[in-house]
Amino acid sequence: MTDAIEMRGVTLRLGQNGFLFDCALPEGAVIGVTGASGAGKSTFLNLLAGFDMADGGRILFRGKDIGRQHPAERPVSLVFQDSNLFAHLDVFTNIGLGIHPALKLGNADRHAIASALAKVGLAGFEKRMPATLSGGERQRVAFARALVRERPILLLDEPFAALDPSLRRDMAGLLLAMHRDSGNTVVIVSHDADEIRRIADYAIFIDHGSVAVAAPIDRFSTGEDNAALRQFLRIDES
């Protein structure tokens, strides 16, 4: 298995909090990032996305250092808990921004947007405004926007947290279908260990600002003899 991303001695200080991340993320896998509240999951993702710039260390994509690149230049697309759609722009335009921030869209782009909407189950929704969509539909639009960017890495921060349980499962199914289709590497932050176990091939446990465990999901689920992970997974409780 080759690695899509390596974080080597990546350090960051935010106020009183220090972070040190060192790990490798396997190419083409669904990688769950989990841990207690405040452990540093979002910070880990923000460093990969380029929203936080590391104080030290290296972030490599297929061996190339991307740690100084602007977020828009990085090989990543993003989906957040809140779908982050612009309220005053229709669905078509919101997705188009994923392709060209300046919105110079040609026929091929229009076709790509229609096709992405069809893939997420929203064919024909181009003219709808975000306020007229349900929470699940808004999240589907965010997925379509990530799809049209065609980046090899998809980063998601608690993408289903605002959805009810059955919708969560539908959206997780959609995520896995998109992943199978594109063969991309998915990095998904979730505080929900069951969700990680359901959808991830590989998982990372963040504890007090660093990677405490990184392992294939079956080994991860045993707790890997890490007391904090075992407690998080409630393995020792009976």
Ligand X SMILES: Nc1ncnc2c1ncn2[C@@H]1O[C@H](COP(=O)(O)OP(=O)(O)OP(=O)(O)O)[C@@H](O)[C@H]1O
d(C-alpha 150, C-alpha 51), whole Å: 20
CA nearest 211: which of 13, 65, 48, 24? 24
Residue 60 or 161: which CB sits closer to ligand X? Answer: 161
* Candidate list 1, 14, 103, 227; residue touching ligand X; CB under 6 A: 14
CB nearer ligand X, residue 147 or residue 200: 200
Least gap, CB of 189 to ligand X (angstroms)? 7
Question: Percentages helix, strand, coil for the chain, rounded to the nearest 5?
Answer: 35, 25, 35
Half-sphere exposure of 196 (CA within 13 A, CB side): 27
Taking the least distance from each CB to ligand X, the nearer of 84 and 182 is 84
Q: CA angle at residue 169 from 39 to 145, to 5 degrees?
A: 80
**Angle made by CA atoms 166, 193, 147, in degrees to the nearest 5:** 60
- Contact region with ligand X (CB under 6 A), list: 12-20, 62-70, 124-132, 194-202: 12-20
Residue 115 contacts residue 92 (beta carbons within 8 Å): no
Token output for 101: 């921030």
Query: For helices 165-182 and 135-149, what crossing angle results, to 10°?
Result: 10
Write the single-letter amino acid at 220. F
Count the site residues for ligand X by CB under 6 A. 12
- Considering only 12, 25, 39, 199, the residue that binds ligand X (CB under 6 A) is 39
Stretch that binds ligand X, among 40-48, 56-64, 136-144, 148-156 (CB under 6 A): 40-48
Separation CA 77–CA 188 (nearest Å): 12
- 55 makes contact with ligand X (CB under 6 A): no
**51 binds ligand X per the rule CB under 6 A:** no
Find the binder of ligand X among 21, 43, 76, 119 (CB under 6 A). Answer: 43
Tell me the C-alpha distance between 211 and 233, whole Å: 16
CB of 193 to ligand X, least distance (A): 12
- Residues 151-210 touching ligand X, rule: CB under 6 A, are 191
Taking the complex as a whole, how short is the minimal distance between the CB of residue 157 and ligand X, in angstroms? 8
What tokens were used for 177? 């279908």
96 in contact with ligand X (CB under 6 A): no
By CB under 6 A, what part of segment 215-234 binds ligand X?
Answer: none
Nearer Cβ to ligand X, position 129 or 162?
162
Query: Does 103 engage in binding with ligand X (CB under 6 A)?
Result: no
Which residues here bind ligand X, judged by CB under 6 A? 14-15, 17, 35, 37-43, 191
